[in-house]
Structure 1
Amino acid sequence: MLRYYGKDLLDWHRGELSSRRLHVLVKHLPRESSVNRELFGEAADWSVTDHLLAATVDHLAAANWMFASVNSEEDAEPLEAPEPVPRPNGTPDSGADGPDADAADADADPSAAAAPGPSPQQLVRFFG
């Protein structure tokens, strides 16, 4: 149950807790809270640092693979590309900085390529 300073969620039903205050409390729950685990699953355990470390490992592995591929014998068998570090959702990071990032975004949402600014849903998500 959501508890803060001796009060609980029933205070919202009793009228002792405003909807705005309830929204703020839920929005700023700690990463390890049950609500965040239910909403985001394993991704709730990953911090920004964890994502950056996984990206660093992926980039270093790719750089080492490219170096080894370029400096191997011409008649040698090609080296296998490295596997990316698994992310919480089970897929590797999409690599938004990659050369096909705009094409991937356009494939996902055809109206996104034509829209000059953020969508209404993005504005609502940003401003809460």
Structure 2
Amino acid sequence: MDLLDWHRGKLSSRRVLVLIKHLPRDSALQRELHGEAAEWSVTDHLLAAAVDHLAAANWMFQCVNASEDGDQPEPPKPVPRPGGGDEEAEERDGETPEAENPGVSPAQLARFFG
């Protein structure tokens, strides 16, 4: 397909818009517009969420069954998501990422599991 056909009048503007709208997820335009997030499908996001939940469950199990010495394991770090920002830069700035914040309200839990 030659996009100059639009300029020549052989290709309508609507057809060009339809072609652009239905470009594949890994196209250069999608990567330019959405960055790394263009590579992640819904399946990838669900798989990352499943890995995070499994790691949290294992961490909770270790905390409950830890020795009496008070040695608690480190909380798990979530799988990095596209567009999530630079976690190392946040840690350098003294901010803790939201996923590592141990204070979760009951409303947040109800919304998550609800």
TM over 0.5: yes
Q: Name the SS for the 1:8 alignment partner.
A: coil
Distance 1:13 1:100 in 2: 55
TM-score by length of 2: 0.68
Q: Report the secondary structure of 1:58's partner residue.
A: helix
Query: Is 2:25 the partner of 1:43?
Result: no
Runs of 4+, deviation exceeding 4 Å? none
The structure, 1 or 2, with the larger RCO (C-alpha pairs under 8 Å, 6+ apart) is 2
Task: Give 1:53's match in structure 2, choosing from 28, 47, 57.
Answer: 47
Structure 1 gap ranges (5+) = 1-6, 103-128
Note the residue ranges of structure 2 that are not aligned, 5 or more in a row: 88-97, 100-106
Matched, 1:99 2:108: yes
CA drift at 1:65: 0.4
Identity percentage over the alignment? 67
> For residues 8-31 of structure 1, what are the alpha-carbon distances to aligned partners after superposition, in whole Å with 9 as ceiling and x for unaligned?
222222222222211110011011
Q: CA RMSD in A?
A: 2.7
TM-score computed with the length of structure 1 as normaliser: 0.61
